[in-house]
Structure 1
Amino acid sequence: MDVVAGDDQVTTEFLCISTAALTAPAEGTVQLTGADGLALTVWRHPHDPLLPGLAWACDAAKVGAALFEPLPDRRSAVVLPELATVSYRPLRRAVLTADHLGERRYLKVLRHGQAGRLAERHRLLTSAGIPAPELIEVPAPDVLAMHRAPGTPLAERLMRDGARSIQPHALINLLQNLPPESMRLPERPAWAARVRDYAMGAAAVLPEEQARITALTNKVHHLVSTVDAGPKVPSHGDFYEANLLVTGESISGLLDVDALGPGHLVDDLACFIGHLAVLPSLDSRYIHVPAALDRFLAAFDHVVDPSALRGRAAGVALTLVAGAKHRASPASPDAWHADALRRLAIAESLADAALARRS
């Protein structure tokens, strides 16, 4: 909303309204009652009651002083970094970028106590030689700041030529070198293990395909329950092209390590395959992805059960169906529907391939 100050200056303020129940009234919030007695909590951005570090992360002067070296000539005018919000999930987390004179830093704003746990994961990885982003200490609560990891997003290479210079074993070796200490971290269920939850999201955006979604969900659940996933090993937990940076023929950056902990190698590889398989439905320029998919599948089949790989990848692809609606644009408001159907068909194809390869 626009606010007129006493000097007639007009500024734009953002109010956040949530139906989430807070355990106690928080400072800076207003409690309202909506329709049918629904309790609402209102706050002015960036003063999120469960993200105490967000206000600091949105202050360019404070962020600039903490994350960037001062200019050699102190007489020069202060150049503040440009802040941008990458994502914001109210009451949960936010990710921002800070750009200053050609350099970029990333900030993750988390709930109380979560930043320390995520920092521990980063340190475990970097100590083991895994290329996680380097952290920067900041004087703010529950904010994790980090340098930009080197390299090009793997998605760009996949679009250019199917990432022909990246050998599948580079991904396998990266996962097999995750530090054993991560086995003492909390375990999170794999994407495919939560297939019934994500099926509800898929059915919400494609209600006319409820029967197909239910049949697919039952197939994936059966495969996850009956096909051996292999031993528990250190796992990334969200291993796909958007979280991988490459330089030359090497993986030079591993991002979003929040889910690091015990898991199965097949689930990390299935996460990669599930996301890779749906890329052409996101952008028609991914013309090299089908060949890349075959190449990565052939290599991964040598280290994990082929049926488990495809069955769990089908579950991952199903988790992505509901997200198609979030990509709707004013120019093509209904294009997302065809995208969602393509993602569903891809998930079905992977599940059928898994059943065909059962040993």
Structure 2
Amino acid sequence: MTEAEELALLEGRAIGPALEAAAAALTGSLIQWSLSGIHHRPGAGVTGIYAIRCEVSGEILNGFLCVTTRPVPGTFARSVRLHGPEGLPLLAWSHPNDPLLPDLDWACDARSVGPELFGVPAATLTTFGYRPMRRAVLRAEGAGETRFLKVLPRGRAAALYERHRLLLDAGIPVPQPAESPRRDVLVTRQASGTPLAQRLLEDGATGFEPEVVVDLLERLPRAVCDLPARRPWSAGVHRYAGAATAVLPDQSERIKTLASRVEYGTRAAPAGPVVPTHGDFYEGNLLVDGGSITAVLDLDGLGPGHLIDDLACFLAHLAMLPCVDERYTAVPAALARFQRVFEERVDPTALRARAAGVSLTLVAGARNSGRNQAGGGWREGALQRLLVAENFLGPGRGPGPAAG
């Protein structure tokens, strides 16, 4: 079964019998279900999150079931293996019993988090994000204090803790890590500042200069280069093109052409020297105050790389904001302002090609939210994102240097 067929299965009514079987094994008799979200990782399966209503011993309970097509070896508590159409293997679990996030159930339990983090009977918990089998981020509040919980696969929290310490020791503003009662949960204190995304929404982040972004990246300590390297987003352009094609099959030739142009542009123009990089650098991972950066978030991708890839990631995500919310009316001017400065620091052709590549990785994500917040359905949102990627390269029908 192709990824496009897996997407169609998990989004459609045909998944119903599998959900009924999963609910019977894990929770109770399924009364009602609806799709809450889809997570698609190119080459790594599709996962659906479903809001369910079940009857358990005469009581009606609400909850969530997750079903994935990703091959996951092993045996896990509160999960069940099923078969979908054509014998497709499926793994289902009741949230928060994620098979690869062993401490998620603790992080989602207010009566466990409260005593262990704050010494109170229960914490107030807010889920900021959940990517099945990858990570979850929650805010916990209690006793007048706030902590952020990042739940990770087994053994990864300690390495992320050390990344925070490394940057703090070098004077880079990142959230202060705190002692964690669970080995697979990174706990950090609340950092000061306003999300850069909010500033961009208000006025295009007027007064926040692009040079501040470049300066911070250039101040990352050399020891970052001793960490494991992670391929830049644009390096997987053909894999992500496949994901984009899965959600926009009628645009396959257009997507294929774009991917070829990105590949040509990234190979034909210099990337620059290997330097310390953030790895996933964009407005969502920056807190600011006035013209200064007060905190850099999400250090999972920290490692050796190229400055141009961090700058391209920033531009691509910035350009996507109007696709997400139509209120980002000041973003086009901000994009031009940041791109102009970035192109003075790195090769412009290579920057545009890599920004187009990052943009292409975001096309399939339009389907995850179900409906495009900027108006219209997810398909319109995906088409808008595809156009953003093409705009970085300018006119062109085939592989070749970016125009403009």
Moved more, 342-351 or 167-176: 342-351
Q: CA deviation at 1:320?
A: 1.4
TM-score, structure 2 as length reference: 0.80
Conservation of the 8 A alpha-carbon contact between 2:372 and 2:381 = no
Does residue 185 (structure 1) correspond to residue 227 (structure 2)? The answer is yes
Aligned to 1:269: 311
**Secondary structure at 1:138's aligned position in 2?**
coil
- Tell me, which stretches of 5 or more residues in structure 2 are unaligned? 1-52, 396-400
**Secondary structure at 1:229's aligned position in 2?**
coil
Distance 1:57 1:247, change over 3 A: same
Q: Deviations over 1:65-89 (max 9, x none)?
A: 2333x5xxxxxxx562221222223
Looking at structure 2, the residues matched to 82 and 200 of structure 1 have their Cα atoms a distance apart, in angstroms, of 40
Moved more, 96-105 or 172-181: 96-105
Does residue 230 (structure 1) correspond to residue 272 (structure 2)? The answer is yes
**Correspondences of 1:312-327 after superposition (within 5 Å):** 312-327=354-369
Aligned to 2:111: 61
**Correspondences of 1:263-342 after superposition (within 5 Å):** 263-329=305-371, 334-342=376-384
Aligned to 1:82: 124
Aligned to 1:356: 403
Superposition RMSD in Å: 2.3
Moved more, 195-204 or 17-26: 17-26
Letter in 2 for 1:66: E
Q: CA deviation at 1:230?
A: 0.2
Aligned to 2:10: none
**Correspondences of 1:246-257 after superposition (within 5 Å):** 246-257=288-299
Moved more, 268-277 or 329-338: 329-338
Looking at structure 2, the residues matched to 45 and 345 of structure 1 have their Cα atoms a distance apart, in angstroms, of 36
Aligned to 2:32: none
Looking at structure 2, the residues matched to 266 and 170 of structure 1 have their Cα atoms a distance apart, in angstroms, of 15
Aligned to 2:4: none
Aligned to 2:39: none
Q: CA deviation at 1:197?
A: 0.9
Percent identity over paired residues:
50
Does residue 18 (structure 1) correspond to residue 65 (structure 2)? The answer is no
Q: CA deviation at 1:28?
A: 4.0
Letter in 1 for 2:107: A
Distance 1:26 1:215, change over 3 A: same
Q: Deviations over 1:92-127 (max 9, x none)?
A: 222222133664321111111111111111111111
Q: Deviations over 1:286-340 (max 9, x none)?
A: 1211111111111112211111111111111111111122233399995322222
- Tell me, which stretches of 5 or more residues in structure 1 are unaligned? 71-77
TM-score, structure 1 as length reference: 0.89
Q: Number of aligned residue pairs: give it.
A: 347
Does residue 111 (structure 1) correspond to residue 153 (structure 2)? The answer is yes
Letter in 2 for 1:41: L
Looking at structure 1, the residues matched to 84 and 331 of structure 2 have their Cα atoms a distance apart, in angstroms, of 48
